[in-house]
Amino acid sequence: MKLNKLAIAVVTALTLGLTGITAANANTQTLTIAGTAATGGTTTATAIALPVPADNVTASNALSISVSGTAGATVSAAATNASLLTTLTGATAASGSATATVNVSNSGSVELFVFTKTTAVGTVTLTVGNVTTTYFVKGVAGDVAKVSLSAPTTALAGSTQSVVVSAFDKYNNAKPSGTVNLIINTNGAITTATATTTTSGTVSHVVTLPSTGSVTVTAFAASSSDTVTINVGQPRNLEAELATALASVAKLTADLATANAALATATTTNADLVKQVKKLKWQYNTLVKKYNVGKPKAKKLAFIK
């Protein structure tokens, strides 16, 4: 009977001891942003969205990872496309590192912070003892800090052309729904417009070119600006080119007649002129072919045979 009581006492003591060890080493992780629970983060598709900080890192743009029930344990973390902090006090976007290791105090809890300067998906791998957990985060572009424009340098008079407006945050992340102010100068006539970027961080603003001169577009946002100029080009004047070609053919025809009169003594010169005439006839016929396109039969020019 005494032996049974002793066995029960030993089992009870071991059970209580093991229970105490389990409770002391429970690994509970709580994720919050500005005190609000952060959901998802277990896959790239459910990455936790974090605002990209312009300068200071605060509770509103950092993910808090609170680890509790780990008294005496070592918590280590490694980040890709993100940065780690052990405190937000005085933290800026230039702070943080890719790794962090914290020895948990007797209170059994520790807090780490994660922020990112890119809209690419990043990861935070947390290791507590022999338990590893990975969370996915993704930055949301900050306020517009930079703008750029692209457009053709030359286009035909009267045509409509697209000026592509692009907006970026401080770290060159494309900024969706960014507002950019535009000033359009058409040969001295000034107009203004506002462009809002799409999900790609770009938007097209259409301008109509005048008959001559140019259109200059300037974009402004924050302290950034960019300017492009589209010069007006004129279409080819085929009629003028044909007139020039006809004059050349007439002159060479006259030269050929003169050369034929002296054919007996100028065979070499005659042969050269024949070649030139053939070449000019070919040039003339080529221009006539282009000129006749779309013309009614009555206005088409005849080819030289």
Task: Read off the pLDDT of residues 92-107 as tens digits, 9 standing for 90 and up.
Answer: 999 999 999 988 876 7
**Does residue 165 fall inside a structural domain?**
yes
What SS3 class is residue 286?
helix
Q: Does residue 175 share a domain with residue 99?
A: no
* Single-letter amino acid code for the residue at 84: L
Secondary structure (3-state) at 260: helix
d(CA 32, CA 237): 70
Identify the domain boundary among 96, 121, 140: 140
Q: What is the pLDDT of residue 1?
A: 43
Instruction: Identify whether residues 164 and 98 lie together within a single domain.
Output: no
288 and 244 belong to one structural domain? yes
- The pLDDT assigned to 205 comes to 97
How far is the C-alpha of 95 from the C-alpha of 120, rounded, in Å? 19
- Residue 32 forms part of a structural domain: yes
Q: Which helix (H) or strand (E) holds 287?
A: helix 267-292
**pLDDT band of 18, cuts 50, 70, 90:** very low
Strand stretches in 63-120, DSSP E: 63-68, 74-80, 83-85, 99-103, 109-115
Q: 111 has which bridge partners?
A: 66
- The two beta strands, 74-80 and 121-128, are antiparallel
pLDDT tens for 151-207 read: 999 999 999 999 999 999 999 999 999 999 999 999 999 999 999 999 999 999 999
Asked whether residue 2 is domain-assigned, the answer is: no
Strands (E), 81-201: 83-85, 99-103, 109-115, 121-128, 131-140, 146-150, 154-156, 160-168, 179-186, 189-196
In a domain, 81, yes or no: yes
115 is in which domain, residue-wise? 24-140
Whether residues 191 and 282 share a domain: the answer is no
Q: Can you give the pLDDT at residue 124? A: 97
Domain CATH number, residue 160:
2.60.40.1930
Could you tell me if 114 and 32 lie in one domain? yes
Angstrom distance (rounded) from CA 45 to CA 274: 76
Residues 83 and 128 in one domain: yes
Number of domain units in the chain = 3
Do residues 85 and 152 both lie within one domain?
no
CATH of the domain at 120: 2.20.130.20
Cα–Cα distance, 231 to 226 (Å, whole number): 17
45 and 109 in a single domain? The answer is yes
Q: Are residues 183 and 201 in the same domain?
A: yes
Same domain, 197 and 120: no
What does the pLDDT read at residue 268?
A: 64
pLDDT, position 151? 97
Q: Are residues 294 and 194 in the same domain?
A: no
Give the largest Cα separation in the chain, rounded: 150
Last residue of a domain, one of 140, 172, 193: 140
Sign of CA dihedral 91, 64, 23, 130: negative
204 CB-side CA count, 13 A: 7
Flag the least confident range among 21-25, 77-81, 126-130, 193-197: 21-25
34 and 136 assigned to the same domain:
yes
Judged by average pLDDT, the poorest of 68-72, 124-128, 238-242, 269-273 is 269-273
Domain boundary residue, one of 88, 114, 140: 140
Residue 58 lies in a domain: yes
* 26-35, 171-180, 289-298: segment of lowest average pLDDT: 289-298
Question: Does residue 172 sit within a domain?
Answer: yes
Joined tokens for residue 139: 């930055």
> Among 119-128, 210-219, 241-250, where is mean pLDDT lowest?
241-250
Rounded to whole angstroms, how far apart are CA atoms 111 and 38?
15
Is 31:37 a contact under the CB 8 Å cutoff? yes
Q: Residue 30: inside a domain, yes or no?
A: yes
